[in-house]
Amino acid sequence: MALDDRFHNRDFKVVGNRVTRPDGIDKVTGRARFGADMTAPGMLIAKVLRSPHAHARINGIDTSKAEALPGVKAVVTYADFASAHAPDDDNLVNCMAKDKALYDGHAVAAVAAISTAVARKALKLIEVDYEVLPHVTDVDEAMKPDAPVLHEDAQDESVPAGTPKNVVRRYEFGHGDVDAGFAQADKVIERSFRTEAAHQGYIEPHACLASYGSDGRADLWCCTQGQYAVRAMCAGMLGMQASDLRVTASEIGGGFGGKTTVFIEPVALALSRKAGKPVKLVMERSEVFRASGPTASTSIDCKIGMTKDGRITAGRAELRYQGGAFPGSPVEFGAMSGFAPYDLENVQAIGWDVVTNRPKQAAYRAPGAPMAAYAVESVIDELCQELGLDPLEVRIRNCAHEGTLSPYGVTYPKIGLEETLKAVQSHPNWTAPLGPNQGRGVACGFWFNFGGNTCVSLNIDEDGTVSLSTGNPDIGGSRASMSQMCAEELGIPYDRVRCSIADTSLLGYNDVTDGSRVTFAVGLATIKAAQDAIKKMCGRAAAIWGIPEDAVEWEDGCAKPAGPNAGEHPPMSLAEIAAVSSQTGGPIAGHYECNADGAGVSFATHLVDVEIDPETGFTKVLRYLVAQDAGKAVNPDYVEGQFQGGAVQGIGWSLNEEYIYGEDGRLQNAGFLDYRIPVASDLPMIDTVIVEVPNPGHPYGVRGVGETSIVPPLAAISNAVSHAIGKRMTQIPMSPPRIVEALEG
Amino acid sequence: MSQIHVTTKINGDETEFLCGPEETLLDVLRDHLGMTGTKEGCGTGDCGACSVTVDGRLVCSCLMLGAEAEGHEIGTIEGVAKGDELHPVQKKFLDHAALQCGICTPGFLVAAKALLDRTLEPTEEEVRYWLAGNLCRCTGYDKIVRAVMDTAAELRGA
Ligand code: FES
Ligand code: FES
């Protein structure tokens, strides 16, 4: 799509305002219905039996005692899906173990009963014959030739022959000649880094209510980032036609990528099918940690060369990500994105996808990118330190612009990275004085952003209001921004638009709420659907006035005669046209569907000051600044909220959060007490600067903003800590014991 | 297991219910009384999503048995607004965009109201520590803290 300055430079009336969200009252009064808030008459309660072993062959499952317990209405195992589904589907085997339990917490059976107490009791009566196998949970260990093997046949052709079987994919990106580049450098630094796995930490556990009818049709209510994807996955696993399954997305209590797939939904459906009653299944928090989809842990080598005056001559990274028990770690995104903020002649990134005895990873906000950025931005920082250069100036000198060839092969259109760097440079935090044991860190981050399948309808109601239907769950205020864009395009006030989230029976396929796609892609489709309705309203006005359709134009929410032959007619407002619609051809609606392109990549620069307590190794975050390009901020409050939320998730990951596995392969910290996410008293205010470099691919210039904010914090905080303690940190999280160790080492 | 009969007051209304001896107050509110505004994020006292007041004291309802409500006054999110009239802290949460997904919001509002019932002059640090038992994964707390501070300022007429 071409840049259209008519739109980008327009005088926005609604877009850009800090409006109150339409679902706000429901959410501050407790009326909003989330995943676990739904009930159905005759509903059963389900519980899942999970493997206590990290790796074990399942020789048999005896469910007869559980089935005989009064009050138990159904028990399911893999066999209840397998007949319906061939060949194997990793998502299904992750939802219900087949012949092996592949991680601590892997589901092996499930029960539906008349109460939670009976369901719990029934789980204890299920007898599983396990043959415990050796396990591996560490990425580097899993790559060794003698490591326990998870799958005999998961490796594909991208991996060189003879590589150990847990290494399942290889990726390579880049251009130029890195060795020649290193030869031109005045200084080359190579470092190895490790990051531990973090969980998205959404406060709402996975929850669903499934109701399978005797006619073979089913309804599913669940908290998800994508009701259409849930429908497709569940229908496949249960051998249903997609149109026989209607999925309704509840209000969603956070997802951050972790609710882009299914864990319990197919299980609840299978139980409901077997029991002939509605089944509610809600994960406990410990199950969320053990058996949903945290992100990958990684081990990364990174080498960068720089000239004395701060020009990066070459960069190379080798990235190893374990994504749990199945292929699909986000190492490909890591390898594509680490060097993406820079205009490099010579760059190479190699990624290895590794399987281990951990839960199958799911997307976590800019999946794969924070770890790669951590390695690259740490080495750049150390080069600046060694060469005595200003880390912002060096980044400004090397940063990507419009026309830069990215390391993953795309040439960038208009982007706003340099603007974010300059915004940080001119912010007071950049020159705030630092005291003893304090350090400052800076880092850049990149995320691709996504468009994807989108389908939107809007109805012009007889009273002059507009009902807008979109197919993406509203995870952080998107109904407000959709309503704003709709109102803007139609030229009506914001409060005349009602946006609702359709179930899967009402609109065409909408991709999952991911890739920061909603404000961009659904916004674009909303604007186009509004234009479709405008065209029809102009047609109605033309009919009323008896003039040609092209002699009518739309301005400020009204149809107006335009052009030499239009004649004199008073403008007709949307409400006036709607009021007489039954006399001019019936109801008026607008529609648009697309597979949206042109999402527009996103960049940010973060700046942080920390103070270390040298005795305890505790890190206090003193100041934090996010500067990010939003293209055009539709609702600045919620854009800032995305910046702040992502930064704080990054702070938690940098300083505290990690999956800790014991020698026995069991997760040691499956709760919020021991997996500690940041609380209010850990943090300062998070300062933000919204940079607006319009995205040429969107009518209003919008770029997605949801994910980039978690990319720079790992590196920014590590750089700050490293300066504060005078030692280069190379492992995330930098928990107090690790900092004490570094200080003593 | 035999059920226990409990008489209590919830948001000012005399309420009776039967519950199992192992059921928490959170279970009772959500599963027996249909008051699903109070949320369960952990069930172990670590997230604050289930915050209620018991005789004015802030409590995690997942850590208290339903039977223990006997003779006490319970306050939940459903009682924070007076009919159609939102409490000032609810309004400020909307004005400041202090929620994204909103799952933590009932717990924060009950906790914030309990703070404001005690003092209208909390410092930022006091607000942050008072709310440290409530987890929010979406906002980074910035706008939540601002909303509470601003409510306090408005209520004291500053
Ligand atoms: S549900 Fe009670 S504290 Fe989390
Ligand atoms: S707004 Fe989502 S957890 Fe607080």
pLDDT tens across A413-447, in order? 999 999 999 999 999 999 999 999 999 999 999 99
Q: Judging by beta carbons within 10 Å of its beta carbon (0-12, 13-18, 19+), is residue A301 exposed, middle or buried? A: middle
Question: Can you tell me which residue has the tokens 């052009």?
Answer: A563
Q: Output the pLDDT for position A124.
A: 98
Q: State the smallest CA–CA distance between residue B146 and chain A in angstroms.
A: 9
Q: How many CB atoms are closer than 10 A to CB A521?
A: 31
Report how far residue B91's alpha carbon sits from residue A237's, in angstroms, rounded to the nearest whole number. Answer: 45
Q: How many CB atoms are closer than 10 A to CB A99?
A: 9
**Range scoring the smallest mean pLDDT among A86-90, A229-233, A382-386, A551-555:** A86-90
Q: Which residues of B touch A683 (CB under 8 A)?
A: 128, 140-142
- Which tokens belong to A55? 């790796």
B130: closest CA among B150, B110, B103?
B110
A462: closest CA among A415, A496, A506, A488?
A496
Residue B121 has pLDDT above 70, yes or no: yes
The answer regarding whether domain A24-32+451-596 maps to CATH 3.30.365.10 reads: yes
- Which tokens belong to A688? 């933000």
Q: Are B95 and B147 in contact (CB under 8 A)?
A: yes
Segment (H or E) for B133? none
Measured between CA atoms, the residue of chain B closest to residue A254 is B101
Establish whether residue B103 lines the binding site of ligand 1, counting it when its CB lies within 6 angstroms of any ligand atom: no
Provide CATH 1.10.150.120 ranges for chain B.
88-155
Establish whether residue B46 lines the binding site of ligand 1, counting it when its CB lies within 6 angstroms of any ligand atom: yes
Provide CATH 3.10.20.30 ranges for chain B.
4-79
Q: Which residues of B touch A638 (CB under 8 A)?
A: 97, 100
Give Cα separations from A680 to A268, A621, B126, B127, B134 (angstroms).
36, 12, 10, 8, 8
Q: Output the pLDDT for position A1.
A: 37
Establish whether residue B66 lines the binding site of ligand 1, counting it when its CB lies within 6 angstroms of any ligand atom: no
Q: Output the pLDDT for position A564.
A: 83
Ligand 2 pocket list (CB less than 6 A):
A 203, 254; B 99-104, 136-139
Q: Output the pLDDT for position A48.
A: 98
Q: Are A415 and A406 in contact (CB under 8 A)?
A: no
Over the stretch B67-116, which tens digit does the pLDDT of each residue have? Answer: 999 999 999 999 999 999 999 999 999 999 999 999 999 999 999 999 99
Q: Which residues of B touch A681 (CB under 8 A)?
A: 125, 128-129, 131-132
Chosen CATH of B4-79 out of 3.30.70.260, 3.40.50.970, 3.40.50.12780, 3.10.20.30: 3.10.20.30
Strand A588-596: give its sheet, edge to edge.
A497-501, A466-470, A452-460, A588-596
Cα of B61 vs centre of ligand 2, distance in Å, is: 19
Angle at A124 between CA A122 and CA A127, to 5 degrees: 105
Sign of CA dihedral A648, A651, A656, A657: positive
Residue A178 has pLDDT above 90, yes or no: yes
What is the third-level CATH fold of B88-155?
Answer: DNA polymerase; domain 1 (1.10.150)
ipTM over 0.90: yes
**What does the mean pLDDT of chain A come to?**
96
DSSP E strands in A473-518: the ranges are: 497-501
Q: Output the pLDDT for position A2.
A: 42
What residues of chain B, 51 to 70, have a C-beta less than 8 Å from chain A? none
Sign of CA dihedral A714, A717, A719, A724: negative
Identify the architecture of domain A136-412 in CATH.
2-Layer Sandwich (3.30)
Q: Output the pLDDT for position A83.
A: 63
Q: Which residues of B touch A690 (CB under 8 A)?
A: none
Cβ–Cβ below 8 Å for B41 and A204? yes
Residue A5 has pLDDT above 60, yes or no: no
Residue A263 has pLDDT above 90, yes or no: yes
Q: Strands A245-249 and A347-354: what pairing? A: unpaired
Domain boundaries, chain A: 24-32+451-596, 136-412
Q: Output the pLDDT for position A6.
A: 52
Q: Judging by beta carbons within 10 Å of its beta carbon (0-12, 13-18, 19+), is residue A209 exposed, middle or buried? A: buried
State the helix-helix crossing angle for B105-118 and B142-155, rounded to 10 degrees.
Answer: 40
Over the stretch A35-44, which tens digit does the pLDDT of each residue have? Answer: 999 999 999 9
What residues of chain B, 71 to 110, have a C-beta less than 8 Å from chain A? 76-78, 80-81, 86, 90, 93-97, 99-106, 109
Q: Which residues of A touch B100 (CB under 8 A)?
A: 254, 475-477, 638, 641-642, 645
Mutate to test the pocket of ligand 2, among A200, A203, A640 (most ligand atoms within 8 A of CB): A203
Q: Output the pLDDT for position A466.
A: 98
Cβ–Cβ below 8 Å for B42 and A23? no
Residue A135 has pLDDT above 90, yes or no: yes
Cβ–Cβ below 8 Å for A640 and B143? yes
Percent residues over pLDDT 70 in chain A = 98
Nearest CB partner across the interface for B101, out of A252, A644, A682: A252
Average pLDDT score over residue span A233-249: 95
Residue A509 has pLDDT above 50, yes or no: yes
Q: How many CB atoms are closer than 10 A to CB A587?
A: 12
Residue A623 has pLDDT above 50, yes or no: yes
Q: Strands A245-249 and A279-282: what pairing? A: unpaired
Q: Which residues of B touch A37 (CB under 8 A)?
A: 30, 36
Cβ–Cβ below 8 Å for A203 and B133? no
Cα of A684 vs centre of ligand 1, distance in Å, is: 24
Indicate if A136-412 has the same CATH topology as A24-32+451-596: yes
Cα of B42 vs centre of ligand 2, distance in Å, is: 14
Q: Which amino acid is at B101?
A: C
Report how far residue A241's alpha carbon sits from residue A263's, in angstroms, rounded to the nearest whole number. Answer: 20
Cα of B26 vs centre of ligand 1, distance in Å, is: 9
Q: Are A483 and A500 in contact (CB under 8 A)?
A: no
Q: Output the pLDDT for position A8.
A: 60
For testing contact with chain B, the best of A17, A21, A25, A28 (most B CBs within 10 A): A28
Q: State the smallest CA–CA distance between residue A472 and chain B in angstroms.
A: 14
Q: How many CB atoms are closer than 10 A to CB A111?
A: 30
Ramachandran class of A313: left when φ > 0, alpha when ψ lies in -120 to 50, beta otherwise: alpha
Cβ–Cβ below 8 Å for A638 and B100? yes
Over the stretch A450-461, which tens digit does the pLDDT of each residue have? Answer: 999 999 999 999
- Which tokens belong to A432? 């705030």
Measured between CA atoms, the residue of chain A closest to residue B98 is A641
Residue A85 has pLDDT above 60, yes or no: no
Over the stretch A340-357, which tens digit does the pLDDT of each residue have? Answer: 999 999 999 999 999 999
Percent residues over pLDDT 90 in chain A = 95
Residue A369 has pLDDT above 50, yes or no: yes
DSSP E strands in A159-291: the ranges are: 167-175, 187-195, 207-212, 218-222, 245-249, 279-282
Residue A134 has pLDDT above 80, yes or no: yes
